[in-house]
Structure 1
Amino acid sequence: MNKLFSLIKLQLNAHYGLSYARYAIKNDKKALWKGIGLGLLILLLSFEMLGLYSVMLYMIYKAALSINAPEIILTLAVVPAGLIIMLFGVFYIISTLFLAKDTEFLASLPVKPGSVFLSKFLLVLIGELPFSFALMMPAVIIYGVGLKKGILYYLASILCTALIPLVPLAIAVVLTLLLMNIVAKSKRRDLITIIGGIVLIIAIFIAQNYFASVMPENTSEISMVLFQNSKAVVEFIGRVFPPSVWVTKVLTGTLPEAALNLLYLLLVSAAAFVFVYVLASFIYQKGAIAQLEARKKTGKTRMRYGRSSHVMAIFKNEWRIILRTPVYALNSLTVIIMVPMLMLLPMFGGNLAKEKEIQYFFSLIQGQTSPSHLVLILAGILSLLALMNPAISTTFSREGKNFWILKNIPARPEIQVLGKLLAGYSISFIAMLLAAIICIFAFKLKPVLVIMMIILSSLALIPVSVANIVVDLIRPKLVWSNPQEAIKQNMNSFIGMLLAFLVISVFGVIGYYLMKINLSDYALLGIMALILLVSSIGSVFLLYRVSKNVYQKIEV
């Protein structure tokens, strides 16, 4: 047991830099205040997203209160938390459990394979807790304040929120363990890992949507029951993720009902945890060690030489590194898969397509009669979805200790930065382009409208990409022990996403007020395109200036 606790302590210390934090508090006040300032900046930027989310939840709460079912706000918070954790937890688990560079070192320690797995699983679980609390606490506070709940309600909500990630992560771990043990038998492990991880995500997404969309044949009767019984509403909404029903009943039911459902939640969570631990004790180490084995290459390799510009050389090298490193590929290329799939929802329906947030976006699209308004709204939505791209906000961090090579190659800093910008931008552009093409069929749009939408989105993504790359250029994370830390545990990804959301919000406000003016379609789109073009050119010039001033100051 002492070995297990020591291993967990070691993992937490390496992951969160606890030793350095203690050192900074005692000896490096400059680094301490820098960290505090960064934390305050992140909180400030987070308030915008959490504020919009809270307003939306409050509107749902007021509507649910009118039908005497205010508790559904809690269910609606738990369901997306559980599903998103399971969906994107696959990448986190593959990165932490199988592709981390410390796997070989941990395997050599005198500890059981199950203990190594447990320490890494707890690391993933702790990493998902902030996301779980961010989605749950606004709903908990709105419901608690509205119905004047006591201290026991808030204590129970903390316990339930902490348990939410356990079952989704357990399911994701089981699927990942099976996948990685299949991959272990393959000669092209990196390629199979990337393809398998993406296929697994798509399968989970489709399965969730399909099973949640199964409706009774007599829809009129079920609608009447739901309208008359608030508990039936909770169970109907939570059928896609049963723990959401238990959490809701723990927080809203009578004492016996709350105790019973808390018991359900604890037993299922414990059973999922034990099952995963036992399974991993037998097959985890085999799959993890296999990822470190190198395949012997035979035969001669033919060297080829060619000429290309410095920008294109950097661009190609960025793509090459991403595709050759499963951790980078799984985290960076997800946006190319997920954004088009979200735009496909209106064609295939299902429970996800009926979510209030998604329905709100679809109603905005389908309710527009003005072509120019439709183009602006779609361009904004696609740009907003495509900004979830960690490849560009970690482009310098991924260089790690090899950053000195970039400082010594015969290419100016601004040229290198431009090549990296194009590489990250191309990922968002591909995601946006595929989603735009799907819009032709999903919303029956005319091709000319889609072309205008692509032009506006392409321009909007430039300042968004620049905002992301500037963050990583100013404060790159060059010290890391495994590639996962560079992209998954890099605060620059989160900061870049918040800044990108802020940029898109500013463009959205400008577009909203332009739509209020009685302009012709061509004038409206032309003015917006001009604004985006000027913003894009200005942001690129800003990037050039920052790169000249900052690049040589970066130390490895």
Structure 2
Amino acid sequence: MRSRFWTLYRTLLNDHYGFSAAKFYYIKKRQRTWEPILIVAGVTPAVVMAVIFIWKMTEQLFMAGLAFGQPHLALLNGALLVALAGLFFGFFSVLSTFYFSTDLPVLVPLPLRSREILGAKFGVVLTGQYAINLFILLPLWLRYGLLAGVGLGYVLSAVVVFFALPLLPLAAASLLAVLLMRVVNVSRHKDKLALVGGLLLLVVMVGFQFWLQNSLGSGDPDLVMEQLLSRADGIIKAAGRIFPPSVWAAQAMAYAHTWRGWLNLAYLAAASALALFVLFLLGERVFLQSVLAGMEGTRGSGRARQVRLDERSRSPLATLASLERKLFVRHPGFALNGLVGYVLVPAMALLPLFGQSMQNNPFELLALDRLPSFVVVGGIALYYMFMTGMSMIPATTFSREGKHLWIIRSLPLSIEEIIAAKVLGAQVVNTIGCLLGVVPIAFIMGWAVWEVVLGSVLGILLATALAGFLVLFDLRKPMLDWVNPIKAVKSNLNALVGMFIGMGLAFGLGALIYANVRSESLWLIPAELLGAALVLGLLVGALIRRWAPRLWTRI
């Protein structure tokens, strides 16, 4: 059984991350070698800046905590960061890997037990989480160790904490995913329910963290701080209320040379083991049943349903655009990764209203209610453009078709018409998602209606031009050989490049707006953004007419 599980884990790991395919193309056939070079060249500066930031932040937290006799505040910060990230992003990875990967019809008929499939898939997600945690925790723990002058006990505790820390949040995310899919798979609307349930769970998690942070600061600030300093590790324990095992991890490493450190290490290991036990105990009874329920048709209500055929003719552009929108929104593997930003922005804006603490609203801290009108217009327009790249919808449009790309190829439509339909479908989702974020912020900040309307119009024009370029970029080399739908979105080089392009253009136009502010020529902002949208749109249109037919026939 151990050998069978290990073989299954290695197979799924190889399939999920495409190690064999990368080895075949890049090393054996020496094809597309520019892709890993481009990835390394694009990611390296961001990695270096992130490591420098973590290094300096750790030093600052160490010095700040040292003033209160609690220097391991830096260790707590790192543990909280990776734990909350594991719970937040782990839920979407687990949901996609467990229930929406295309290897399930192959795995279910095999002589494998439910816990073996569940454990192997959990191991694949956990492996990716370890890689992310190593990038965050290694510079943080190294800097703390140099500042504190730690010994061998610190190193040994760090090894145990590294392997145990992500188990608890990822097991909790897996439990939530398993229970959610067991409930929604009994309905014929399981895809919609999975999407709604995932987004609601996201809002609940953000709201819970917001409540914990606000509950810490209630009452007289001086009295609260006096109480925290009067207790041993008071600040550490108070900050760790968001995720108590992070306190165990921090204290296990900080007091590694004493019995207190080993006791906290035992707490963390026991809690992680218990979480895994509950996950596999429940998964043995629920996981396979929910997978089978998702593969089977639902019985319905038993009543005959009348189906009315719509005989009204629709243009191919509108039909294909509607199909693009529906396939993205209704597929939880795609939607839960592409729509997160659209949900977080209004959630962050509206949650403080329920606690009557507007001074903690991040948008209030940015003083968005005191910006000049034309700067507000420019900011809204750039938000539309920025979210087009961040949503990953246009940059993965052909990649998400996967093995079903032949359906689009068989349509009696030109590639220009297909690109136009896909841009239209992507921008319908982007416009609605951006409005969900802009409208509540505009209401809270007291922006004028004309500011929102003008900014939205300019933003739609800029975002549409950018979307056309990103669709063409995905047509150049779509990722069609994916097994897990999350790979077509988050592990797609086209999506990564699309995000960088969107951020680059948004920051470039933002610098132009800043220059207008400095030169007191704010009235030029709408004209400059309109001109940028027209120039970008004409350029993208020319590129599509020149390159798209050739790229389309090459696939």
When the two structures are superposed, what TM-score results if normalisation uses the length of structure 1?
0.86
In 2: Cα distance, 1:169 partner to 1:80 partner: 13
Alpha-carbon distance, 1:284 to partner: 1.0
Choose 427-436 or 345-354, whichever is displaced more. Answer: 345-354
Indicate conservation of the 8 Å contact 1:194/1:329, yes or no: yes
Aligned to 2:327: 321
Choose 286-295 or 342-351, whichever is displaced more. Answer: 342-351
Indicate conservation of the 8 Å contact 1:339/1:386, yes or no: no
Q: How many residues align?
A: 548
Choose 240-249 or 166-175, whichever is displaced more. Answer: 240-249
Indicate conservation of the 8 Å contact 2:59/2:144, yes or no: no
In 1: Cα distance, 2:228 partner to 2:375 partner: 37
Choose 493-502 or 270-279, whichever is displaced more. Answer: 493-502
Aligned to 1:507: 509
Task: Output aligned runs, 1:469-484, within 5 Å.
Answer: 469-484=471-486
Aligned to 2:313: 307
Indicate conservation of the 8 Å contact 2:87/2:173, yes or no: yes
The RMSD of aligned alpha carbons is: 3.5
Instruction: For residues 424-443 of structure 1, give each alpha carbon's deviation from its aligned partner in whole angstroms, at most 9, with x where no partner exists.
Output: 22222212112111012322
Indicate conservation of the 8 Å contact 1:209/1:351, yes or no: no
Alpha-carbon distance, 1:108 to partner: 1.9
Aligned to 2:273: 270
Q: Does 1:103 align with 2:107?
A: no
In 1: Cα distance, 2:123 partner to 2:223 partner: 45
Tell me: CA distance 1:55–1:238, structure 2 relative to 1, closer, same or farther (3 Å): same
Tell me: CA distance 1:154–1:28, structure 2 relative to 1, closer, same or farther (3 Å): farther
Alpha-carbon distance, 1:11 to partner: 0.9
Tell me: CA distance 1:529–1:22, structure 2 relative to 1, closer, same or farther (3 Å): closer
Question: Any idea what SS the aligned residue of 1:481 has?
Answer: coil
Tell me: CA distance 1:138–1:374, structure 2 relative to 1, closer, same or farther (3 Å): farther
Alpha-carbon distance, 1:98 to partner: 1.8
Indicate conservation of the 8 Å contact 1:90/1:201, yes or no: no
Task: Output aligned runs, 1:346-495, within 5 Å.
Answer: 346-348=352-354, 359=362, 362-366=364-368, 368-377=370-379, 380=382, 384=386, 387-462=389-464, 464-466=466-468, 468-495=470-497
In 2: Cα distance, 1:340 partner to 1:27 partner: 48
Alpha-carbon distance, 1:86 to partner: 1.5
Instruction: For residues 459-501 of structure 1, give each alpha carbon's deviation from its aligned partner in whole angstroms, at most 9, with x where no partner exists.
Output: 4434543454344222211123354443354343333223322
Q: Percent identity?
A: 24
Tell me: CA distance 1:236–1:41, structure 2 relative to 1, closer, same or farther (3 Å): same
Indicate conservation of the 8 Å contact 1:181/1:283, yes or no: yes
Task: Output aligned runs, 1:218-367, within 5 Å.
Answer: 218-226=220-228, 231-253=233-255, 255-256=257-258, 257-295=260-298, 301-348=307-354, 359=362, 362-366=364-368
In 2: Cα distance, 1:516 partner to 1:230 partner: 50
Q: Does 1:188 align with 2:189?
A: yes
In 2: Cα distance, 1:477 partner to 1:46 partner: 24
Alpha-carbon distance, 1:400 to partner: 1.5
In 2: Cα distance, 1:404 partner to 1:250 partner: 56
In 1: Cα distance, 2:235 partner to 2:169 partner: 22
When the two structures are superposed, what TM-score results if normalisation uses the length of structure 2?
0.86
In 1: Cα distance, 2:447 partner to 2:463 partner: 22
Aligned to 2:208: 207
Gaps of 5+ in 1: none
Indicate conservation of the 8 Å contact 1:382/1:435, yes or no: no
In 1: Cα distance, 2:376 partner to 2:67 partner: 33
Aligned to 2:91: 90
Question: Any idea what SS the aligned residue of 1:214 has?
Answer: helix
In 2: Cα distance, 1:230 partner to 1:366 partner: 40
Alpha-carbon distance, 1:116 to partner: 1.0
Instruction: For residues 358-414 of structure 1, give each alpha carbon's deviation from its aligned partner in whole angstroms, at most 9, with x where no partner exists.
Output: 84x643334745333444456545654564313222210111223233334222212
Tell me: CA distance 1:374–1:60, structure 2 relative to 1, closer, same or farther (3 Å): farther
Indicate conservation of the 8 Å contact 1:7/1:119, yes or no: yes
In 1: Cα distance, 2:352 partner to 2:391 partner: 24
Alpha-carbon distance, 1:547 to partner: 2.1
Indicate conservation of the 8 Å contact 1:83/1:168, yes or no: yes
Choose 10-19 or 378-387, whichever is displaced more. Answer: 378-387
In 2: Cα distance, 1:158 partner to 1:471 partner: 42
Alpha-carbon distance, 1:55 to partner: 8.9
Indicate conservation of the 8 Å contact 1:82/1:168, yes or no: yes
Tell me: CA distance 1:90–1:16, structure 2 relative to 1, closer, same or farther (3 Å): same
In 1: Cα distance, 2:469 partner to 2:52 partner: 22
* Letter paired with 1:7: L
* Letter paired with 1:4: F
Alpha-carbon distance, 1:287 to partner: 0.8
Alpha-carbon distance, 1:226 to partner: 4.5
Choose 63-72 or 178-187, whichever is displaced more. Answer: 63-72
Q: Does 1:64 align with 2:64?
A: yes
